[in-house]
Structure 1
Amino acid sequence: MISLPEKEIDLPFGFNDPLNYLETLVSWANKYKWLYDLHIVDFFTHDQWNKLDQEWTHVLEQEENWFDTVIQLTSFEPIINPSWPETLKKYIQESNRIALLRKQSNNERHTEFKKHMLFGMTGKKIHEVERMSDLIHQVAKQHGISSALDLGSGQGYLSRALAFHHDMNVLAVDMSEIQTKGAERFDRRVIRHEEKYTEESHRGRLTHITELITPQNISSVLTRWGSNDDDKDISTSDTNTTPTTPSSTTTTNNDRWLICGLHACGDLSTLIMRLFAEDNDKVSCLVNVGCCYHYLSEQPGCMFPETGFPMSDSLAKMNFTMGTTARVLACHSPWQWKHQKQASKKSFQQHFFRALLQKIMVDKGLASASQAPALAHRINKKNGFVGYVQAALKKFGLSSDSITAEEAEQYLEEYKYAEKQITILWTLRSLMARVLESIVLVDRWLYLKQSVSSPQSQQKNGNDNDISPRGVWMWPLFDPMESPRNMVFVASK
């Protein structure tokens, strides 16, 4: 059973106040904004190597096993050479020290699914859904809730686990009809196997709909789909209710919902939080794990009426802006590099090839140094740098003879030393990834904490006889090596 941790938020050593902690994160991020805002494609054309402290670059280049030494700096417990410059040691240590703790508890226990529940799931997805569904079920049980709203349900892995494994009534909502239809196909496959076990198997009711839920329409949507009547008309073309038997464990309070989302992208996670905060009539609990911070809006009206970042009044008052480049970095998981050496080397080589191509194109007048042309997808490097160049020229709509094979080979020979430099620069930059993600996460925690503590929330949901926990918890639910976006939010009001 997965239960709530003792602390609502577990701050790094030396911090006791979340607001003070956020201020420290922002201060550190502002200090190194010049570093995390770098685009590696501009390595040569913007002379990025010389922007680093030359004491840093000298000692790192001179390390005997430089690659292993450098990439392990991004692990949770970096090994630092005592002879390095104090400024370099402080940057590495402080970037690691102030980031939120990401390792999950070793005492965690969870149920395991039967084989038929695993259709379509990868090992990573099984790891996530088993733990997430256990937690949701436990939170719902504590609050006397039997109904869950799974927003951004996708192929329905979490929804099925809640309905068929934990006997909850689930409204699975996704904006994509393709996802909804795919989820329904998986549902039917699971149900066939469920019926083989026992005719008395109790299951919750699972309803899939294709719809956009907003703070303005959530109450009406939940009223429309929240009934337990088996006679409900479900003939609407964009909806489907999986024909399951209502669970015998359904609680008596059918008006309260738990809203959840597993790796809800960008603004979808913030929408889930706003729905929880703003709807005091039906939504009383939240369980959410977010991802894809690069899709967050930092301007009003981008996807939803409110911005995705920042959410809290506290961060808004600091006038801190992140930008797309930093939000992309916040999604990185450099702590995995040490255990994926070959994949890491290939990735660094990709950065080197792209930066060298940009230099050639600028030198030949094919591109501007101020605005590098974008490559929408990675290029297969089977034919080395020459093949990479030819494939890139084709994607850019340029003639194949714009850069000859001989020119490409000459540049590669002249600048091959820079692949080491790019690896070092990119790794040092990536140390800011956990700091930036910590800002996003603490901002969300403060927003939820504010909403739970508001007089309106306490007045609407107050009940002297209710001893279920109230508050906002954030902690690592998944193994960060298995699932890097592993911080879960649980909120109740």
Structure 2
Amino acid sequence: MFVAAFSEQEQRELAEKLTSLLSTYRHISDSYIIEFFSESLWDTLPVSWQDALGDLTPPQIADLLLDKEIKDRRYPSVWPLSLLALRTAAHALSFPRKAPGGHGQDTGAAVPEEFQSNQSQSSLLGHIFRKHVKPKKQHEIRRLGTLVKKLCDQANCSCVVDVGSGQGHLTRFLSFGLGLDVTGIEADPNLVLMATKFDRQLLLTLAKENLKSGNAQSLHSAPGPSRHVVGWVNPKASWDVFIQQLGVTATESDSIGATTGPYEKKQLVEELNLEPHSCQIKAEELQNTLPTQKTDINTSDSVAQINTGVFPSGMATEMLTCKTVPVTDCGAKKPGRFVLTGLHACGDLSSTLLRHFATCPHVQVITSVACCYMKISTQENPNPPGVFQPPFSADTVADSSLEFGYPMSDWVRGLPGHQLSYKAREGACHAIEDYLHRLREESGLLRTHCYRAILESIIRAERPDMRRPGVQTVRKAHALSFSEYARLALPRVGLPADLPFDPVAVDAMLAHQGKVVAYFSLVLLLAPVVETLVLLDRMIFLQERGFQSKLIPLFDAAFSPRNLVLVAVKPKEAQS
């Protein structure tokens, strides 16, 4: 299903309600669960809330607080109206997360249907696209790739730019699988080299399969139709700089990095260990031997259920004609029209792509799947920790130097209380479906937050100046006693493993594990509200510039928590 397109007035009213709710409960969304004991977080809640939540079992917390699908709730005690109002508002104002045919916000125990027979291999994705790809990514590239293909067909545009393409899994499926001309741009040159390597492995696999089947004719040099470019998409740079990045090839500038190139006949013959005269394959026979690619996208209006072969008509022939198609050809020197996509584009990258869509005349469609909201720049926090900030020349800076990742829209920027802290945005990246599963199973993993909160109180008693130090994950911490956990964790913050602590005080804190879980569940209740405000701000940004957009809960949320895809298509009169 689609999240229905809102009118401008409806979008603005929802933004007002979201900012009002988050402003009221900022003390919860901004709190760190590891400070539960050191900052006495439980005591910050109203006494009536403490009474209602303090003795709940984990499954009760799941049913009564977090699961919006539960209709018949049975309360062990009378809940205060303020707590009921918070839960109702958080559920009502958050964008739906249940994908067509998916499990949505449930126990998370089941996997998508495509993994029922084999939990590591999608039954709906051809085997050549599953190699090196984890199940979550298989699920994502199949669904997003199908959506992009449908949008390309509707826009009569076969060129796609995949930003943050990584090892090229989506790029590979779009090009080899769906017949699109794809350019992937990725900042990490090592990932680009891996993408190129995997492309060639795929070609080699196809050639071997055809030789085994006895369908041997003529195999010339066979490049993949995709192209990989090394490049960092600067959020401060204008769209024409972005276009230039896509248009430069490795032969034009050694500094641009690796790109895919022709797969020479000699190289392929050597890898196949064949005599040159025996390496013969007909393009049409190559196409006929490939498995059928099935899809199960079931959406309304602009995205219909489709079935497609791994190679559409003529695709195999294109593969064997030694033709590399960059987005600029889609116009070699004159940029052409293209679809822009980003699968879990991190931090400001997603907002940058939306700005390019709004301003660049060559971008006709965008599909944006965001992640890592805590890495978004804001006026209060323009340089979030862990974000790459290379230098850039003055001539690449966009017109406005005050453009941040949030808020993007003028409307949200003008609302009182619209600010979202680093912690609130980090919380929006949590997987509520996974936590629901832990609650219902009463998983031992629920113990982890309590352990870390106790450790924080011990650290501060020894070093009052040390607040929230990073502790690398202690493997299987929930299966250890607290003493064992502390012995492994303390050296990771520079403290002795045998640092003494009061075991009686530790036992007293361990007895409050249920309250730690209840408080964290309140934080998690607000996480979808924060995500909704971030994404709604982006929709309003597009609306302010004359573009309608929709959100699609495309992935199974229990399998892929950041599952909302923002889609916008330029009207025909705006298309170049």
Q: Which runs of 5+ in 2 are unaligned?
A: 103-111, 115-122, 264-316, 384-388, 390-396, 571-576
Q: 1:85 aligns with which of 80, 85, 104?
A: 80
Checking the alignment, whether the CA contact within 8 Å between 1:151 and 1:259 is kept in structure 2 is yes
SS in 1 for 2:404: coil
State the Cα deviation string for residues 342-398 of structure 1 (Å, max 9, x = none): 8874443221112212223334x4334xx5241242223254111222222211222
**Structure 1 residue 206 displacement after superposition:** 0.9
* 2:467 alignment partner in structure 1: 372
Question: Relative to 1, partners in 2 of residues 1:5 and 1:46: Cα closer, same or farther, differing over 3 Å?
Answer: closer
Checking the alignment, whether the CA contact within 8 Å between 2:3 and 2:96 is kept in structure 1 is no
Question: Relative to 1, partners in 2 of residues 1:109 and 1:424: Cα closer, same or farther, differing over 3 Å?
Answer: closer
* 1:31 alignment partner in structure 2: 24
* 2:285 alignment partner in structure 1: none
Work out the CA distance in 1 between the residues paired with 2:523 and 2:568.
33
Question: Relative to 1, partners in 2 of residues 1:344 and 1:445: Cα closer, same or farther, differing over 3 Å?
Answer: farther
Work out the CA distance in 1 between the residues paired with 2:95 and 2:442.
24
Question: Relative to 1, partners in 2 of residues 1:418 and 1:99: Cα closer, same or farther, differing over 3 Å?
Answer: same
State the Cα deviation string for residues 405-451 of structure 1 (Å, max 9, x = none): xx353332232221111111111121001101000110111112233
Question: Relative to 1, partners in 2 of residues 1:127 and 1:203: Cα closer, same or farther, differing over 3 Å?
Answer: farther
* 1:445 alignment partner in structure 2: 539
User: CA-atom RMSD, angstroms?
Assistant: 3.2
Question: Relative to 1, partners in 2 of residues 1:95 and 1:342: Cα closer, same or farther, differing over 3 Å?
Answer: closer
- 1:434 is matched by which residue type in structure 2? P
* 2:293 alignment partner in structure 1: none
Q: Which moved more, 1:313-322 or 1:155-164?
A: 313-322
**Structure 1 residue 90 displacement after superposition:** 1.7
**Structure 1 residue 61 displacement after superposition:** 2.8
Q: Does 1:61 align with 2:80?
A: no
Question: Relative to 1, partners in 2 of residues 1:143 and 1:203: Cα closer, same or farther, differing over 3 Å?
Answer: farther
Checking the alignment, whether the CA contact within 8 Å between 2:551 and 2:565 is kept in structure 1 is yes
Question: Normalization by structure 1: what TM-score?
Answer: 0.83
SS in 2 for 1:491: strand
Question: Relative to 1, partners in 2 of residues 1:6 and 1:101: Cα closer, same or farther, differing over 3 Å?
Answer: closer
* 2:375 alignment partner in structure 1: 295
Q: Does 1:120 align with 2:132?
A: yes
Matches within 5 A, 1:1-20: 5=2, 7-9=4-6, 17-20=10-13
Work out the CA distance in 2 between the residues paired with 1:291 and 1:200.
45
Number of aligned residue pairs: give it: 454
Query: Where do 4+ consecutive residues of structure 1 move more than 6 Å?
Result: 107-111, 198-204, 250-253
State the Cα deviation string for residues 230-278 of structure 1 (Å, max 9, x = none): xx94894712224376479x99975101111101111111111112112
Q: Does 1:76 align with 2:88?
A: no
Question: Relative to 1, partners in 2 of residues 1:120 and 1:340: Cα closer, same or farther, differing over 3 Å?
Answer: farther
Q: Which runs of 5+ in 1 are unaligned?
A: 226-231, 454-470
Q: Does 1:492 align with 2:569?
A: yes
- 1:239 is matched by which residue type in structure 2? A
State the Cα deviation string for residues 120-166 of structure 1 (Å, max 9, x = none): 11111111100101111111111121111111000111000011011
Question: Relative to 1, partners in 2 of residues 1:77 and 1:400: Cα closer, same or farther, differing over 3 Å?
Answer: same
* 2:311 alignment partner in structure 1: none
Matches within 5 A, 1:108-187: 112-187=124-199
- 2:67 is matched by which residue type in structure 1? S
SS in 1 for 2:364: strand
Q: 1:221 aligns with which of 233, 245, 251?
A: 245
Question: Relative to 1, partners in 2 of residues 1:346 and 1:375: Cα closer, same or farther, differing over 3 Å?
Answer: farther
- 1:339 is matched by which residue type in structure 2? H
Q: 2:528 aligns with which of 430, 434, 443?
A: 434
Work out the CA distance in 1 between the residues paired with 2:494 and 2:527.
34
Question: Relative to 1, partners in 2 of residues 1:431 and 1:6: Cα closer, same or farther, differing over 3 Å?
Answer: closer
SS in 2 for 1:431: helix
Work out the CA distance in 2 between the residues paired with 1:194 and 1:242.
18
* 2:558 alignment partner in structure 1: 481
Work out the CA distance in 1 between the residues paired with 2:125 and 2:26.
45
- 2:342 is matched by which residue type in structure 1? G
**Structure 1 residue 45 displacement after superposition:** 2.2
* 1:241 alignment partner in structure 2: 260
SS in 1 for 2:483: helix
State the Cα deviation string for residues 158-216 of structure 1 (Å, max 9, x = none): 00001101111111110001111111121111111233347799996211111123424
Question: Normalization by structure 2: what TM-score?
Answer: 0.72
* 2:517 alignment partner in structure 1: 423
Work out the CA distance in 1 between the residues paired with 2:531 and 2:382.
23
**Structure 1 residue 326 displacement after superposition:** 0.2
Work out the CA distance in 1 between the residues paired with 2:154 and 2:365.
10
- 2:50 is matched by which residue type in structure 1? T
Matches within 5 A, 1:246-261: 246=318, 255-261=336-342
Checking the alignment, whether the CA contact within 8 Å between 2:471 and 2:493 is kept in structure 1 is no
Work out the CA distance in 1 between the residues paired with 2:15 and 2:218.
52
State the Cα deviation string for residues 438-480 of structure 1 (Å, max 9, x = none): 0011011111223344xxxxxxxxxxxxxxxxx3221211111
Work out the CA distance in 1 between the residues paired with 2:330 and 2:451.
60
Work out the CA distance in 2 between the residues paired with 1:50 and 1:44.
10
Q: 1:97 aligns with which of 85, 92, 95?
A: 92
Work out the CA distance in 1 between the residues paired with 2:183 and 2:218.
23
* 1:328 alignment partner in structure 2: 426
